[in-house]
Amino acid sequence: MEEDIKNILEAGIQAPSGSNSQPWKFKINGNQVDIFALPEKDHPILNFRNRGTLFAHGALFENILIAADALGYKSECTLFPDQENKNCTARITFSKADPKNQSLFSFISKRSTNRKPYKKEALSDTEKNVLARCAAEISNLSGVRLKMIEDKNKLEELGRALSKAEQVIFENKLLHKLFFEEIVWTEDKEKAKKSGLYLKTMELKPSQQFALRFFRYWPIISIFNWLGLSKSIARENAASYSSTALMAIILVENRDEAFFDAGRLGEYIWLTAVGIGLSGHLLTGVPFFWQRIKSDEAKEFSLKHIAIIKEAYASIASIAEAKDNEIASFVLRIGHGETPTARSSRRSLQYSNS
């Protein structure tokens, strides 16, 4: 059984995480697995109240449930089982069962971020209906809602709003530093490190890759920002983000645990999209910056950038028709895209036996 459990967890860790941080570890005790969060591996500003880590753990958890069903195991789960250790996100006990026809299992290893522009042509009714059913197909979701946007004008507005994160990152000295610390510049380093933001996954043109190496130096980019570089980058990203057929906005209640369920839903939608031949790209910057600002924990931001983020988030929330108690937490860009240039590697499974 232990080898089967390891295979299930191997499928689990294919889940997405911020800059491929993979903020998790496992403790295996017979047929029981405890999952632990490692929030220190995530972005110190984007990971507001560890909600980015919780989203990643929700995606991890969903992969595990899918893999267990497909490999012939029943999963009995308790979420946040240890009140004295909030970093223990789940306890799962596995028992043998008949394998279920789990069509999503084969797509776990195929899912990857695709930052290329997608075709703008509308999805078919069949494709849209398959995606729309996702929220109803997951059991025990709490405080999570899905809003799908197809209107061209709204997609363009969302693209402009989401791109404001890059403008702020390139104009803010601390965020600029953190961003460039996350970049992995070569294939050899990516294979050795197996975490971080791999340059080739950014889908930049050769000239943009060349320029980016100079822009990692704050004095240089400060001069170019004075000439309008940050705004130009945002405009280019806005055009790329809106080059899609659909954006799925995941709305959550304003409580930490709901972000775990948002991760479950996000991964399920993404795997479903891969299963019908679609690509996905998760966008999180503006919503997380806004949450920090809303909670008066925005010492890193200037008044100018606070205003930019507030305006950008207001556009996203309005398009998503967010309720007073909801946060537009994540936006998943979905559409028909060419094969991504590269994908990020995963570290080997980290676990201990108790």
DSSP 104-118: TGGGTTT--B--S--
* CATH code 3.40.109.10 region(s) in the chain: 2-110, 125-335
Helix (H, G, I), strand (E, B) or coil at 208: helix
Percent of the chain with pLDDT over 90: 94
Q: For domain 125-335, which architecture applies?
A: 3-Layer(aba) Sandwich (3.40)
Kindly give, in sequence order, each residue whose CB lies less than 8 Å from that of residue 294, ignoring residues fewer than 6 positions away: none
pLDDT band at 110 (very low <50, low <70, confident <90, very high): very high
Q: What is the mean pLDDT of residues 206-232?
A: 96
In 185-242, beta strands by DSSP E: 197-198
10 Å Cβ neighbour count for 326? 19
Supply 3's token pair.
């080898």
Strand 279-283 and strand 326-335: the pairing is antiparallel
* Whole-number pLDDT of residue 309: 98
pLDDT in tens, 175-198: 999 999 999 999 999 999 999 999
Instruction: Please state, rounded to an integer, the average pLDDT across all residues of the chain.
Output: 96
pLDDT in tens, 149-165: 999 999 999 999 999 99
Q: Is 331 within 8 Å of 283 (Cβ atoms)?
A: yes
Burial class (CB in 10 A: 0-12, 13-18, 19+), 186: exposed
* Whole-number pLDDT of residue 77: 96
Q: Is 81 within 8 Å of 91 (Cβ atoms)?
A: yes
- Which fold is adopted by the domain 2-110? NADH Oxidase (3.40.109)
Measured CA to CA, the distance from residue 171 to residue 183 in angstroms comes to 17
Query: 0.75 exceeded by the pTM?
Result: yes
pLDDT in tens, 252-310: 999 999 999 999 999 999 999 999 999 999 999 999 999 999 999 999 999 999 999 99
* Whole-number pLDDT of residue 354: 72
Residue 200 pLDDT exceeds 80: yes
* Whole-number pLDDT of residue 84: 87
Single-letter amino acid code for the residue at 157: E
